[in-house]
Amino acid sequence: MERQTEETIEAELQGLREQYRDLGIFGLGRIIAQRAAAETEMESIYLLIDDEGWTIAGNLDAWPEAEDLVTNRVRFAIEPSGSLGPRRFLGRTVELDDARLLVARDVEDKLRTQALLVNAIGLGSGLMLIFGVIGGFVMSRWMLSRIETINRTTEQIMEGDLGRRITVEGSGDEFDELASNLNAMLERIERLMAGMREVTDNIAHDLRTPLSRLRSRLEVALMNEIDPATARRLLEETVADAEGLIATFNALLSIARAEAGEQRASWEQVDLGLLVQDIQELYEPLAEEREIELCAIADPEVVVMGNRQMLAQALVNLADNAIKYSPEGGRVTLQATHLATAGRPAPLLRVADTGPGIPPELRTKALERFVRLDPDRSTPGNGLGLSLVNAVAQLHNATLELADNQPGLEVSLVFAAPPAARTADA
């Protein structure tokens, strides 16, 4: 605004210089007088004086006491008649041959606006600083209170209150998201610990009986003199119980290795059809002994990438369970085929029997370790068969599905469809 004022004054001075060159000092005086007469509000100052300081024309009686800013720029204050107080002016001076010219503009309103802006900026900055400090303090206290709530809850959980959960306020902010994730993690941990306790109880129950039989046989053998035939029978029974214990721990080790993915290093192309035929030949004598029809349906080129030993172990567990739980005269089917999907056909491994099956509400629980649907746990087994199958399915990125065979149980392993290049190689 000040620069615009100076440009206006400079333009007016340029015009007055031209008038002075054309009309001389008296012609310039007449023009100054006309312009001064038109300034009824004294917004512009015109003053022309001679060399001795006498006023030739203008709306001031004498040269004002001015503050020299830079060359030919002055600032001064006067109190015009009718004004409520002094007003400040910004002007420029020109030295003529026989006179001195002053042209100035009223900048009082501009300076007041500048002062208002400076005060507003200062006041606004101060208020922003105050409100920023207050807002930051309030926000920090709020955040600290939320964090303190989480800390108190975690301390209570560490002290043993595993059922404790972090409060979700429902605002949907990051703290609520964090609380929801922590609560989900705590629920997962609580379920795992409950499952661990259940597994521990089942292990203790399953291992106590064979260990007790081992001890009893050894105590009987030590108490009395026994004949060689009895000693051999006791040793054979002891070896059988020991093999059962070893089988339990081997199953646990296989599950752990499958879940850890250690078997991926030995993956190869496995023909599920040949695998089904091998398992059918292996269990054919047992099925005939129990008068169960064991069928094998193997489509050609049902190939997956995986660990042959782990897949065979999973199929053995499924076949063994199917034969064990099917009644005499029942039927067990081992099948390797392709499942029609939207894209490429997916390899499918299925074992179906005509036994009692598993109720739908217990099928998820049946996949857990040491879970047996026999409440008395009187049937042979250790409850690890389906757990191992589930671990093998996860290792091979396959989906394990339990369905009703009407009657009986149908267990399916649905593998991911291979890409085109791999299918061509197979």
Count CB-CB contacts under 10 A for residue 24. 12
For 42-66, the pLDDT digits (tens) are 888 888 888 888 888 888 888 888 7
Tell me how far CA of residue 151 lies from CA of 76, 161, 166, 174, 193, in angstroms: 69, 14, 9, 16, 22
Residue 372 has a pLDDT of 61
Q: Which of 1-10, 154-163, 236-245, 369-378 has the lowest mean pLDDT?
A: 369-378
> Rounded to an integer, what distance in angstroms lies between the CA atom of residue 122 and that of residue 135?
19
Backbone angles phi, psi at 275, to 5 degrees: -65, -40
Pairing status of strand 55-58 against strand 44-50: antiparallel
Residue 411 has pLDDT above 50, yes or no: yes
What are the pLDDT digits (tens) for 272-282? Answer: 889 889 989 98
Mean pLDDT of 363-378: 64
pLDDT score of 424: 44
Look at residue 426 in the predicted model and tell me its pLDDT.
42
Q: Taking a C-beta distance cutoff of 8 angstroms, is the pair 298, 336 a contact? A: yes
Instruction: Report the alpha-carbon distance of residue 323 to residue 355 in Å, rounded.
Output: 8
Name all domains of the chain by residue range, CATH numbers in brackets.
2-106 (3.30.450.20), 193-257 (1.10.287.130), 261-425 (3.30.565.10)
Query: Residue 132 corresponds to which amino acid?
Result: G
DSSP 345-372: PEEEEEEE--S----GGGTTGGGSTT--
pLDDT tens, 6-17? 888 889 888 988
- Checking if the pLDDT of 127 tops 90, the result is yes
pLDDT at position 131, please? 93
Instruction: Of 131-140, 156-165, 189-198, 376-385, give the lowest mean pLDDT range.
Output: 376-385
Residue 393 buriedness (CB in 10 A; 0-12 / 13-18 / 19+): buried
Model confidence band, residue 422 (pLDDT cutoffs 50, 70, 90): very low
Closest to 384 in 3D by CA, of 369, 372, 394: 369
Closest CA to 101 of 13, 36, 26, 2: 13
Q: What is the pLDDT of residue 71?
A: 73
Specify the DSSP class assigned to residue 398.
P
> Are 325 and 353 spatial neighbours (Cβ–Cβ below 8 Å)?
yes
What is the average pLDDT across 303-321? 86
Instruction: Classify residue 176 by burial, with Cβ atoms within 10 Å: 0-12, 13-18, 19+.
Output: middle
The 10 Å CB-count burial string (b at 16+, else e) for 348-359 is bbbbbbbbebbe
* pLDDT greater than 80 at residue 347: yes
Radius of gyration of the chain (CA): 51
* pLDDT the model gives residue 338: 86
Residue 369 pLDDT more than 80? Answer: no
Beta-carbon count within 10 A of 106 CB: 20
* Mean of pLDDT values over 207-231: 76
Q: What is the pLDDT of residue 421?
A: 43
Cα 293 from Cα 288, distance rounded (Å): 7
Alpha carbons 133 and 139: distance in angstroms, whole number: 10
Q: Say whether pLDDT at 146 is over 60.
A: yes
State the pLDDT confidence band at 206, using cuts at 50, 70 and 90.
low
Q: Considering the chain, what is the average pLDDT of its residues?
A: 81
What is the per-residue pLDDT for 81? 72
Residue 292 has pLDDT above 70, yes or no: yes
- To the question of pTM greater than 0.85 for the whole model, the response is no
User: Is the pLDDT at 382 greater than 60, yes or no?
Assistant: no
**What letter would DSSP give residue 264?**
G
Could you report the per-residue pLDDT of 76-95, keeping only the tens digit for each? 888 877 667 788 888 888 88
Could you give the 3-state DSSP secondary structure of residue 80? coil
